[in-house]
């Protein structure tokens, strides 16, 4: 295993969504030579203007990079980028590292890592938490699975993108940890949504309830952030409800495979499925609270613009 990745080293980034673009920017700011690719050309052109290079394809990005980072929506997207036509595996250098920051199947991750190892490359699964603001501020929490020596080698990259770095275990452990993270978020979001609905039914201002809860033992990141988005009606997506549904289904699949008892997660999956089935999968995951309002007989909000709502008096 070679020494730690040096500042100025060539790295690649594929998947320039809200999170990925911000992470790539922080790598550029940290002094790395960043080559990018994305299905949407506009994001590539934007990053090129900020100092990145256009790789043209996953294979092109991999051939130009010592480390290749991915931030993609789902398991099939990662498989396509790595192993599909003009996939990254065709261009990976010997001893190169793939860091997958996507949230995908832990089982598939173990398989992908084995396939890359056969080609002389390494893989770390490092899903992240912290949302768009954490990505922009370089303050993400990185949950890392893979070989300890490879994690240490890539630490300068993690430090450019995040604030907290936890090597959870072997390949796939990072993805398993992210499932636990999403389970905790969904369970908390459901409880907060119920609390706000109860307050509304009792004629109490839920904004005041949130303010009181933030000062006590119920305070949390979810109450601070998603709770505010729900009450303010600012539901343009930071993290889309349809992606949370995908993530919580991954958690349920892991639960079925291991026999874990997960009733809260199962209910969360049903609630997010209902939200998405009513045409709101593109809203922020905080929009889950709208279902609790509706099912409580609270008058539904009316749209006032993309991703925002107004509450009726």
What does the alpha-carbon distance between residue 27 and residue 159 come to, in Å, rounded to a whole number?
A: 9
Q: Residue 70: beta bridge partners?
A: 14, 100
Alpha helix segments (H runs only) across the chain: 18-29, 41-49, 58-63, 75-83, 106-118, 131-137, 148-153, 155-161, 173-201, 206-214, 221-224, 226-232, 241-258, 263-275, 288-295
Structure-block tokens of residue 101: 């920051």
User: Alpha carbon of 28 to those of 5, 49, 212, 312: distances in Å?
Assistant: 14, 11, 41, 45
What does the alpha-carbon distance between residue 50 and residue 67 come to, in Å, rounded to a whole number?
A: 20
Q: Among this protein's residues, is 178 annotated catalytic?
A: yes
With vertex at residue 86, the alpha carbon angle to CA 20 and CA 112, rounded to the nearest 5 degrees, is: 65
DSSP sequence for 93-140: PTT-EEEE-S---HHHHHHHHHHHHHTT-EEEE--EESHHHHHHHT-E
Structure-block tokens of residue 147: 């070989």
Q: How many CB atoms lie within 10 A of CB 225?
A: 15
Which SS3 state, helix, strand or coil, does residue 18 take? helix
Catalytic residue, chosen from 163, 178, 201, 249, is: 178
What does the alpha-carbon distance between residue 130 and residue 34 come to, in Å, rounded to a whole number?
A: 23
The catalytic residues are 178
């Amino acid at each position: 295993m070679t020494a730690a990745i040096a500042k100025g080293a060539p790295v690649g980034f594929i998947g320039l969504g809200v999170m990925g673009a911000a992470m790539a920017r922080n790598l550029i700011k940290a002094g790395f030579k960043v080559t990018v690719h994305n299905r949407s050309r506009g994001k590539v052109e934007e990053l090129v203007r900020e100092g990145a290079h256009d790789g043209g394809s996953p294979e092109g990005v991999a051939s130009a990079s010592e480390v290749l980072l991915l931030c993609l929506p789902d398991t099939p997207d990662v498989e396509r980028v790595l192993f599909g036509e003009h996939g990254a595996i065709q261009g990976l250098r010997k001893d190169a590292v793939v860091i997958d920051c996507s949230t995908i199947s832990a089982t598939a991750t173990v398989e992908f890592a084995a396939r890359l190892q056969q080609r002389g490359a390494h893989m770390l699964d490092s899903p992240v938490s912290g949302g768009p603001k954490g990505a922009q501020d370089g303050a993400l929490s990185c949950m890392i699975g893979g070989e300890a020596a490879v994690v240490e080698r890539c630490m300068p990259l993690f430090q450019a993108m995040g604030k907290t770095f936890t090597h959870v275990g072997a390949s796939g452990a990072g993805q398993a940890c992210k499932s636990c993270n999403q389970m905790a978020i969904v369970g908390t979001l459901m409880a907060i949504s119920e609390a706000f609905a109860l307050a509304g039914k009792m004629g109490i201002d839920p904004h005041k309830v949130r303010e009181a809860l933030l000062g006590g033992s119920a305070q949390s990141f979810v109450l601070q952030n998603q709770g505010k988005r729900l009450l303010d009606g600012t539901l343009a997506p930071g993290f889309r409800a349809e992606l949370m549904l995908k993530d919580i289904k991954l958690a349920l699949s892991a639960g079925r495979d291991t026999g874990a008892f997960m009733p809260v997660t199962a209910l969360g999956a049903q609630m997010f499925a209902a939200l998405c089935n009513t045409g709101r999968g593109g809203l922020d995951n905080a929009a889950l609270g709208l279902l609790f309002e509706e099912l409580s007989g609270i008058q539904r909000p009316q749209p006032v613009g993309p991703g925002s709502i107004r509450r009726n008096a």
